[in-house]
Amino acid sequence: MRPSWHKLFSDLFVNPVRTILVVLSITIGLFAVGMITTIHLIIQKDMAEGYAQIVPPNILISVTNIDEDMVKNLVKLDGIASSEGARKFSARIKNIEGDWVKTEITARKSFLSPEIIQLKLIEGSLELSEGEILIDQFKYENVLINEEHHVFIELPSGIIKEIYLAGKSQDQTIGFDTGGGGFFIAPIQGYILMETLPHLEQALTFNQIYLTVTPENGNFNQIQKIANNVLDFLDENEIGVVQTTVHESATHPNSIYVNAISALLLVLGFLIVFLSSFLIINTLSALMQQQIQQVGIMKSLGATKKQIVSLYMILIFFYGMIAFGVALPLSRISAFGMVSFVASRVNFEFLGNRFLLFPILILAVIALIIPQLAGAFPIQHGVRIKVTEALSGFLGQRSAIFGKLALNKLRISRPVLISIRNTFRNRTRLILTLITLTLGGSIFISTFNVQIALKNHTSKIGQYFLADVNLDFNQLYRISKVQNDLKSVDQIDVVEGWAFAPSQIILDNGQAGETVRLVGPPINSEMIKANLLKGRWMQIGDHNAIVLNEVFQTNFPNLDVGDTLQLRVNNEETEWVIIGFFQLAGKSTGYIAYTDFDSLAKMNKSFFHTRIFRIASKYKNLNIYQQKSLANEISTVLRQKGYHVLQVEAGLSLLESTTVGLDIITIFLFVMALLIAIVGSIGLMGAMSLNVIERTRELGVMRAIGASNFTILRSVLFEGLLVGELSWFLSIFLAIPMTKLLCDSLSIALFDAIGLFAFTWKGILIWLGVVTFLSIISSLLPAVNATRLTIREVLAYE
Amino acid sequence: MINTNYSSLIMTRNLKKTYQNPAGEIQALKGINLVINQGEFVGIIGRSGAGKSTLINMLAGLDSITSGEVWVENVPIHAKNEDFLANWRGLKIGLIFQNFNLISTLSLLDNVMLPLDFSGQFNAKRSRDLAKKLFDEVGISEHIFKLPSGISGGQQQRTAIVRALINNPAIILADEPTGRLDSVTSESIMHIFEAQVIKGKTIIMVTHDESLIPRFSKVYFMEDGLIFPKNTSDKKLK
């Protein structure tokens, strides 16, 4: 082997700590990019493809009643590819805590390869028999299953049935008709055959219509047009329509969360590539600093610039390749693990580990190009140094003006003064180190800020769910009677009857469009404090006044306060005056509108009666367990009095369900913050350690002239902490625009508007702790090693 | 640029070198005029800071010239770029330093073969054979696979000499080659140099050791950036 190759390999293996630090800094950058690229590539693809594979309906229509022949006839309408009927109803199921909780049961003719909505079997069998039930995986663990593998269903009449549990399945269409957030607030889902309906006191007719459209009619507007034709057809046949929902085949109900994650990934990915590049530049600069004397020797022996540059470029190529070999499998494992985690939380199917060429190519290109580009500057700088300077190892470092001007006047001890001057001595290195650490710190702090911004938003959403207990009945009850009967529960302060009604927007062409959830609390309700974006909330004296959520603003930008909105409520066209807009949980919540109880009760023709109540305790700020205890007490009292209770649940559980989608983004951000902390930490450790390794000889000189090991360690520690804390201070300021960038990306993905922003000391303090700890470790370890060498060894150190 | 053809092997004309440092301007060479012919063993004597090493650096093209001219074998060193000088050095000049300047992570053999690698003169086998032969000549052939840290200072300097000779250069420039060695080792190094002069090499050696004056065929004194010739008898080494 030629001597220059020997030199190359000796540079790789003679100083393993240095090689590990260089490889690690490249690896961590590649790992982050590889992981982010892989997630970005597969998360949206898996969601869309996995969802399309189950053949979701493009149109879902809830009707009062429809028979099989009529459902079959719908296929004859233009653009319809297939149709299927189902029956969906609510009941109660016993959970593992022994409580009765709401369940939604869907009855279909068969679950074996249906044309629309194919359930995925997780365990058991899809081949159901009469009297058997499947439970969806999402809340499966909550269901009480007895030794005979039966579950307990309480029918609206109060009769309890034991049904054999045939298996566990996954239904990706949960939340299809209630917006993305609907999945999280959906109750336990059960699936039975139509033949089982009579056992559960249900009619043998359909109330759900699933329709798919022909492939050439796949875009949203075309589907909407076809849906309107279907609605006209149903209207002509006097079939009452309750609700219509339209989706494209590849649009998963929870796609908003994955879109938000993708938006964050894009910004974070860019920042991490930037950070990694600086990390690599910094590390390679330190490496070249150590090699300067050897560069001088080689030049004195006749090596041209080109030969030296080639030698170091090949060395960097090897570093890059080792890093590539480590980062590729690690990034794949992490990315697939992350997508699998998100898939399980957001109800889509992770299509499994697979070969992906693009991330490999990206990593290979980055492994080859970024270190070379990053190394080009320090290498060029290194080979341009005069041979005589390089041979002396003295690079004509400028004196620290800062130290000269200010520090001499301060009463600072000589070793500390030396530490400060050392810190500012090599300004290029200091700037590079500071940029790397500041970038890492600011991204870390920003991810915390985004988490807090999301949390603040969640707290605001909590203002819509101030009730301690939410009570749903199977039938209408007179409000004053329920209020009176609950007086026996001491803890109760207020009982409010709320009205709810599904409705549909009437479009300009007169046809019904998207479904709107109309909510009608009493006009002076104390259980909701809306976050108004525009206009005002309801006041006494308002009639048919309506406050709309932000989804209306996004999809109907021309709508404004004072305009009239036409809605189809209970098959009647009604007019409402828009008095304001409020913000809830973003696009995922679908269309929600608040009006006053009386206006909505009028539409429902249920004056003074309702099925839904909101109850507040006398005691403020109950936790979820206290709320559950109150809910149980209310349930017992009402059952004793003969009420048909469908569901009594703690107020906070509804808030938890509503915000669980945002929690997934928070968890994702936390993982990203961890990743960035690791990148930043390795950057910090690498930079600090190389700084100290580089000064090993200098430390030996200091020891030779009488400095004790303690003095050396103190000096090195001071320098490390000075750089670390300086970067921390700078990162606080850089975190402001970075937080804004991340928050804006997330806000646009979630709400289609800029709105989120928060700045918290939490991330700043955590990063201060991380920086301080790592500064100490990464400065002290090499310094301790340096003090362990004999002075003779250190002075000979190269 | 005047293209002048000089008959001498090395010639400088009014060579000046000025350094800038935080303390101000330092004139290291203040107009050096020097003529060296082939086969001479030239000693440049002077105290620390006199400008001896700077002069060697100028002659080897290791540092830029502030003003004046340096001609080596009719090549205007002062007018050439760094890459030309690197190639030229690799083929024509052998450099020896006081602190040996061996690459600490390479074996002695690799250190010695490295210049051949850069100049691309010979293949690996021929380079190795040549290196081994030269190691034999300086008497350290049993150490060639050791790292520099595993041998004595004298052995390191012999390795540096072998490295300087490996390209068979016409000129050897030695900067205080005995400065870090004991008297016995220094003597052996001087013997090696004398043997090379007999073979026709031109050696310019910088030293502060006046006791070595009788060993040189031509001697210059340097002080404060100026050079003065000492008239010595035209001693021919046998």
Distance CA A63, CA A408 (A): 86
Using alpha carbons, select from B82, B37, B74, B33 the residue that is nearest to residue B55: B33
Question: Does residue A208 sit in the same domain as residue A86?
Answer: yes
Q: What is chain A's mean pLDDT, rounded?
A: 83
Q: In this model, does residue A500 exceed pLDDT 90?
A: no
Q: Flag whether A392 is in a domain.
A: yes
Question: Does residue A108 sit in the same domain as residue A235?
Answer: yes
Question: Does residue A93 sit in the same domain as residue A131?
Answer: yes
Cβ(A147)–Cβ(A320) below 8 Å: no
As for how many domains chain A has, the answer is 4
Strand A469-478 relative to strand B67-72: parallel, antiparallel, unpaired? unpaired
Cβ(A740)–Cβ(A748) below 8 Å: no
Q: Where are the alpha helices (DSSP H) in A301-426?
A: 305-346, 357-384, 387-392, 401-405, 414-425
pLDDT given for residue A249 in this prediction: 84
Q: What is the largest CA-CA distance in chain B?
A: 51
Choose one of A337, A367, A396: the last residue of a domain: A396
Mean pLDDT of A84-106: 90
pLDDT given for residue A755 in this prediction: 67
Question: Does residue A681 sit in the same domain as residue A779?
Answer: yes
Residue A219's pLDDT band (cuts 50, 70, 90): confident
Distance CA B187, CA B27 (A): 34
Of B64, B89, B111, the CB nearest to A302: B89
Q: Where are the alpha helices (DSSP H) in chain B?
A: 52-59, 82-92, 108-119, 124-138, 153-165, 183-198
Q: Flag whether A641 is in a domain.
A: no
**What pLDDT digit, counting tens, does each position of B5-24 carry?**
445 889 999 999 998 877 78
**Set of chain A residues whose Cβ sits within 8 Å of the Cβ of B91:** 302
Q: Which helix (H) or strand (E) holds B15?
A: strand B10-21
Distance CA A674, CA A592 (A): 36
Q: In this model, does residue B4 exceed pLDDT 50?
A: no
Query: Could you identify the residue written with the tokens 């690791």?
Result: A678
Question: Does residue A403 sit in the same domain as residue A391?
Answer: no
- Give the end-to-end CA distance of chain A in Å, rounded to a whole number: 24
Distance from CA of B232 to the nearest CA of A (A): 32
**What pLDDT digit, counting tens, does each position of B164-181 carry?**
989 889 999 999 888 878
Query: Could you identify the residue written with the tokens 């879902």?
Result: A60
Lowest-pLDDT range, A745-749, B30-34, B211-215? Answer: A745-749
Q: Flag whether A566 is in a domain.
A: yes
Instruction: Estimate to the nearest angstrom the gap between the alpha carbon of A262 and the chain centroid.
Output: 9
Question: Does residue A192 sit in the same domain as residue A322?
Answer: no
Distance CA B73, CA A554 (A): 83
Cβ(B154)–Cβ(B188) below 8 Å: yes
Mutate to test the interface with A, among B21, B54, B62 (most CBs of A within 10 A): B62
Using alpha carbons, select from A297, A292, A289, A379 the residue that is nearest to residue B86: A297
Instruction: For residue B166, give both structure tokens.
Output: 């490996």
Q: In this model, does residue B146 exceed pLDDT 60?
A: yes
Question: Does residue A725 sit in the same domain as residue A755?
Answer: yes
pLDDT given for residue A80 in this prediction: 94
3-state secondary structure of B155: helix
Residue B1's pLDDT band (cuts 50, 70, 90): very low
Q: How far is CA A737 from CA A449, A478, A740, in A?
A: 11, 55, 5
**Set of chain B residues whose Cβ sits within 8 Å of the Cβ of A398:** 22
Of B82, B89, B163, the CB nearest to A305: B82
Distance CA A87, CA A107 (A): 5
Question: Does residue A675 sit in the same domain as residue A716?
Answer: yes
B230 or A688, higher pLDDT: B230
B173 or A656, higher pLDDT: B173
**What pLDDT digit, counting tens, does each position of A143-155 carry?**
999 999 999 998 8
Q: Flag whether A240 is in a domain.
A: yes
Q: In this model, does residue A536 exceed pLDDT 70?
A: yes
Distance from CA of B216 to the nearest CA of A (A): 25
3-state secondary structure of A548: strand
Question: Does residue A370 sit in the same domain as residue A453?
Answer: no
Distance from CA of A749 to the nearest CA of B (A): 55
DSSP assigned state of A95: B
Of B21, B63, B106, the CB nearest to A6: B106
Q: Flag whether A628 is in a domain.
A: no
Residue A796's pLDDT band (cuts 50, 70, 90): low
What residues of A are in the B interface, CB distance below 8 Å? Answer: 1-4, 6-7, 10-11, 14, 293-294, 296-307, 386-388, 391, 396, 398-399, 796, 798
pLDDT given for residue A746 in this prediction: 79
Mean pLDDT of A334-351: 89
Residue of A nearest to B91 (CA): A302
3-state secondary structure of A535: strand
**The domain containing residue A457 runs over which residues?**
399-464+654-798
Choose one of A380, A396, A412: the last residue of a domain: A396
Q: Flag whether A640 is in a domain.
A: no
Query: Could you identify the residue written with the tokens 């020797």?
Result: A297
3-state secondary structure of A389: helix
**Set of chain B residues whose Cβ sits within 8 Å of the Cβ of A298:** 103, 114, 118
**What pLDDT digit, counting tens, does each position of A388-422 carry?**
888 776 554 444 444 454 555 556 666 667 777 77
Q: Choose the most confident range, by mean pLDDT, from A258-272, A367-381, A730-744.
A: A730-744
Q: How far is CA B193 from CA B111, B130, B164, in A?
A: 20, 18, 11
pLDDT given for residue A413 in this prediction: 66
pLDDT given for residue A412 in this prediction: 63
Q: Flag whether A255 is in a domain.
A: no
Q: How many CB atoms lie within 10 A of CB A698?
A: 15
Mean pLDDT of A642-655: 80
pLDDT given for residue A143 in this prediction: 94
- What are the strands, taking DSSP E only, across A194-339? 206-213, 241-246
Q: Flag whether A592 is in a domain.
A: yes
**What pLDDT digit, counting tens, does each position of A304-315 carry?**
888 999 999 999
Contact A298 B163 (CB under 8 A): no
Residue ranges and CATH numbers for the domains of chain B are 10-230 (3.40.50.300)
Question: Does residue A140 sit in the same domain as residue A229?
Answer: yes
pLDDT given for residue B235 in this prediction: 45
Q: What is chain B's mean pLDDT, rounded?
A: 86
Question: Does residue A176 sit in the same domain as residue A318?
Answer: no
Q: How many CB atoms lie within 10 A of CB A643?
A: 20
Choose one of A246, A278, A312: the last residue of a domain: A246
Instruction: For residue A505, give both structure tokens.
Output: 């927007």
Q: How far is CA A81 from CA A74, A78, A209, A215, in A?
A: 9, 9, 13, 8
**Among residues of chain B, what percentage have pLDDT more than 70?**
93
Global pTM value: 0.73
Using alpha carbons, select from A311, A300, A384 the residue that is nearest to residue B88: A300
SS (H, E, C) A102-150: EEEEEEECCCCCCCCCCCEEEEECCCCCCCEEEEEHHHHHHECCCCCCE
Of A294, A302, A396, the CB nearest to B103: A294
Question: Does residue A126 sit in the same domain as residue A165?
Answer: yes
**What pLDDT digit, counting tens, does each position of B89-130 carry?**
888 999 998 888 888 888 899 999 988 888 888 888 888 999
Q: In this model, does residue A188 exceed pLDDT 50?
A: yes
